[in-house]
Amino acid sequence: MFLGLDSSTQSLTAVLIDPAMGEIMVQLSVNFGADLPQYLSPSGFIPGGEKGEVHANPMMWLDALDLLFGRLSHLTDLSKVKLIAGSGQQHGSVYLDGSFDARIAALDPGQSLVSQISPALTRATSPIWMDTSTGAECAEITAALGGSGEVCHRSGSIAIERFSGPQIRRFYKSDPAAYARTARIHLVSSFIASILAGKSVPIDFGDGAGMNLLNLSRQIWDTELLVATAPELCAKLLPPALTTTIEGSVSAYFVEKYGFSSECQTALFTGDNPASLVGMGATTPGNVVISLGTSDTFFAAMPGPKTDPRGYGHVFGNPAGGYMSLICFRNGSLAREALRDKLGLDWAAFDREGLASTLGQAGENLMLPFFGAEITPRHDFTGPVMKGSPEFESGSNPALQARALLEGQFLNMRLHSEWMEVKTERIRLTGGASKNDGIAQLVADIFQAPIERLDVSNSAALGAALIAATAGGHDLPALQEVFCKAAPGSTLLPDPALAAAYQKALGGFKSLLAASV
Ligand code: ADP
Ligand code: XUL
C-alpha cells in the first residue's frame, strides 16, 4: 500500500491506495479548526493579521500529523505501507535553527512532535499563501533583477506577494537577528517530509517553483534571485530535487509510535497544485483542470517552461516531468453566489432559468464578471461591467445576467490561458460548482472541449499517493487509468454550433476589458 498526505490550508488528509487491487483503501482528514481548537485557527490560519499578514502556527501541522497517524493506526495496519509521499499548501515557509536536524534525527516516541521540535523555530509562525504583506519586497526584488520580465523569465512568475522569496526577505528585514539564527528554511511540504524522514530533505521542483527563487529552466536555485532576496540564503536551502526522489526509510519515531514498517520509505513532498495535477489524471499536455472553488483555478501540464508575458500565470514543476501552469482567479464562487443571491435564485434555478432559457443568446451580452478586486487581470474592480442589450444591462431580464456572468468568467479564463499555446483536448472539472451541469456545459461550449468530472474528493492527497506508488516502481499512466477515471455519465460534449458565437464573444470581451482597466 502507498500513502499520500496533503497538508492543506484547513486540513491534513491521508489517502491510502492499493495499486494491486486498484482501490483507495482509506481516506481520513484532520480538520485544523475543529480538531485542534487550541491553535485558535478556525480556518487553518491565525485570524486578525495586520497589513495583509496571514500566518499559521507550524506546530499545528505537526500536532495534526500525530493525531492523523494515531487515528489511522486504529483503522488500518500501517506496517503494510511501502512508501509515503505528500503535498502541502504552496508558498508557506518554516524557519528553523541549527538544532532542527539533530532533533528530528533523534525523536523520542514517548513525547509529541511539537514538544521536541518547537524549540527549533526561529520564527514562531509561518506566512502562508493568503499573505499579501510583501508589496515592498516584491518591488525591491524586481528592481534588483532589472524588471518583472526578468524575474518571470527566471522563476516562472513575476514577484508575487504570497511567494516564499518575498516572504523570506520580509522576515530578514523585520528581524535580522532571528534570520541570522535560521539555519534551515523549509516549505510546508519539505518541512513535513523532513519530519517523516528524520532528516532535512530537499524542496521539490514542483513546490520550489512557487518561491521566486528557482531558476525554472536550469532547475537550480537562481543565484541572482537568492542575492536579491536575503543574505546567506543559499546555505539555508538544500539543492532542489525531483518529486519522486526517495529519501530513505521513515523515522523510527513513526515506526515505534504508529506501527509503520522500518522498511517503509519516504519520498519528497510537493505543492498541493502539482499533486492535484497528478490526482486529476492531467499530467500530460492537452489535459486541463479547472477547479471551481472559493476562487477558480486553471492548471495544465506544459512541455516546456513557457511563461506568461503578462505575468498573471505561474509555472511550477510537473511531478511527472516537465512543467505545469497555474492561473488563479479570485472572483470565482463568491461572484457566482453574489449574482445568484441578487437574483434571488437557488443553484438549480440559476442553472435552469439562467442558462437553459437563454441558450439562444449565447455570447450576445458581455460581462466583466468581477464583484471585487481581481488578480487575473490584476485590477481593483468595484463591480461587474456590462455591455449588451437594454434588458440585459438594466437587469430587467435577470437570466441574461446569470448567463453573461458565467460566460464572462470562462471567456476570461480562455483569454488568460492563451499564452500557454497548449491545445485543450479535454477539461477535467472539479470543485464545488463542478457538479452544476449547466455550468459544466457552458465550460465545454466556451473552450470547445469535452468536460469530465472525477469522483475524487481530495485530488492532492490522491495525487500524493500516486506519486508514492510511482516512486515505488509503478507506472503513473497505468495508475491514473485506474484511479483517475471520469465518473460514469459525467462527460459532456461541446456544441460545435456555438464555436463561432464564442469566438466572436472572446474578441468582444477582450475589447471591453481593454477599455475598462
Ligand atoms: P473550496 O475548496 O475553495 O473551499 P469548494 O471547491 O468546496 O471550495 O467549492 C465551494 C463552492 O461551491 C461554494 O462556495 C458554492 O458557491 C459552490 N457550489 C456548490 N454547489 C454548487 C452548485 N450546484 N452550483 C454552483 N456552485 C455551487
Ligand atoms: C497557488 C496557491 C494556492 C495554495 C493553497 O499558487 O497559492 O492554491 O497552494 O492551496
* 11 CB within 6 A, ligand 2: no
Q: Compute, in angstroms, the gap from residue 350 CA to the centroid of ligand 2.
A: 29
The reported pLDDT for the residue numbered 264 is 98
The reported pLDDT for the residue numbered 435 is 87
Per-residue pLDDT at 401 exceeds 80:
yes
Mutate which of 128, 155, 325, 328 for ligand 2? The one with the most ligand atoms within 8 Å of its CB, which is: 328
What tens digit of pLDDT does each residue of 170-192 get? 999 999 999 999 999 999 999 99
Q: Which residues pair with 56 in a beta bridge?
A: 126
Q: What Cα–Cα distance (Å) separates residue 486 from each residue in 18, 299, 395?
A: 19, 18, 38
**Other Cβ atoms closer than 10 A to 199:** 17
Q: Compute, in angstroms, the gap from residue 334 CA to the centroid of ligand 1.
A: 9
Q: Which helix (H) or strand (E) holds 165?
A: helix 164-174
Nearest atom (ligand 1) to Cα of 294: 3
The reported pLDDT for the residue numbered 373 is 86
Q: Residue 356's pLDDT band (boundaries 50, 70, 90)?
A: confident
* 162 CB within 6 A, ligand 2: yes
Query: Which segments within 434-478 are labelled E, that is strand?
Result: 451-453
- Four-point Cα dihedral 133, 135, 140, 145, nearest 10: 110
Least confident of 53-62, 301-310, 346-355: 346-355
Q: Residue 422's pLDDT band (boundaries 50, 70, 90)?
A: confident
The reported pLDDT for the residue numbered 31 is 96
The reported pLDDT for the residue numbered 125 is 98
Per-residue pLDDT at 299 exceeds 80:
yes
* 9 CB within 6 A, ligand 2: yes
Q: Compute, in angstroms, the gap from residue 468 CA to the centroid of ligand 2.
A: 21
Nearest atom (ligand 2) to Cα of 162: 7
* 129 CB within 6 A, ligand 2: yes
Q: Compute, in angstroms, the gap from residue 380 CA to the centroid of ligand 1.
A: 24
Nearest atom (ligand 1) to Cα of 348: 23
Q: Compute, in angstroms, the gap from residue 333 CA to the centroid of ligand 1.
A: 6
What tens digit of pLDDT does each residue of 227-252 get? 999 999 999 999 999 999 999 999 99
The reported pLDDT for the residue numbered 349 is 83
Alpha helices per DSSP H over 280-419? 333-343, 347-354, 390-393, 398-416
Q: Residue 155's pLDDT band (boundaries 50, 70, 90)?
A: very high
What are the cell numbers at 326?
Answer: 497555474
Mean pLDDT for 365-387 is 93
Q: Compute, in angstroms, the gap from residue 66 CA to the centroid of ligand 2.
A: 24
Q: Compute, in angstroms, the gap from residue 90 CA to the centroid of ligand 2.
A: 5
What are the cell numbers at 61?
Answer: 501541522
Ligand nearest to the CA of 314: 2
Tell me which residue has its CA closest to atom 6 in ligand 2.
90
Mean pLDDT for 278-298 is 93
Contacts of 139 (CB under 8 A, 6+ apart): 159
Q: Please report where in the chains the cell 500513502 appears, as a residue.
A: 3
Per-residue pLDDT at 327 exceeds 80:
yes
What tens digit of pLDDT does each residue of 95-106 get? 999 999 999 999
Ligand nearest to the CA of 349: 1
CA 463 to the chain's CA centroid: 12
Q: Tell me how many degrees the CA angle 429-188-65 measures, rounded to the nearest 5.
A: 95
Q: Residue 345's pLDDT band (boundaries 50, 70, 90)?
A: confident
The reported pLDDT for the residue numbered 447 is 97
- Nearest-angstrom CA–CA distance, 278 and 457: 14
**Mean pLDDT (the chain, rounded):** 95
Mean pLDDT for 310-320 is 95
Per-residue pLDDT at 381 exceeds 80:
yes
The reported pLDDT for the residue numbered 187 is 98
Q: Which residues pair with 220 in a beta bridge?
A: 215
* 309 CB within 6 A, ligand 1: no
**What one-character-per-residue DSSP string does 217-256 give?**
TTTEE-HHHHHHH-TTHHHHSPPPB-TT-EEEEPPHHHHH
The reported pLDDT for the residue numbered 90 is 96
What are the cell numbers at 39?
Answer: 491553535
Mean pLDDT for 394-423 is 93
Mean pLDDT for 353-369 is 92
- Nearest-angstrom CA–CA distance, 76 and 74: 6
Strands 220-221 and 184-187: unpaired
Q: Compute, in angstroms, the gap from residue 50 CA to the centroid of ligand 1.
A: 28
- Nearest-angstrom CA–CA distance, 225 and 340: 45
The reported pLDDT for the residue numbered 398 is 87
Mean pLDDT for 79-89 is 97
Task: For residue 38, give the amino acid letter.
Answer: Q
CB 261 within 8 A of CB 255: yes
Tell me which residue has its CA closest to atom 2 in ligand 1.
293
Per-residue pLDDT at 222 exceeds 90:
yes
Please state the pTM of the whole predicted model: 0.93
What tens digit of pLDDT does each residue of 448-473 get? 999 999 987 889 999 999 999 999 99
SS3 content of the chain, % helix, strand, coil (to 5): 45, 20, 35
Tell me which residue has its CA closest to atom 9 in ligand 2.
90
Q: Compute, in angstroms, the gap from residue 324 CA to the centroid of ligand 1.
A: 24
* 163 CB within 6 A, ligand 2: no
What tens digit of pLDDT does each residue of 120-145 get? 999 999 999 999 999 999 999 999 99
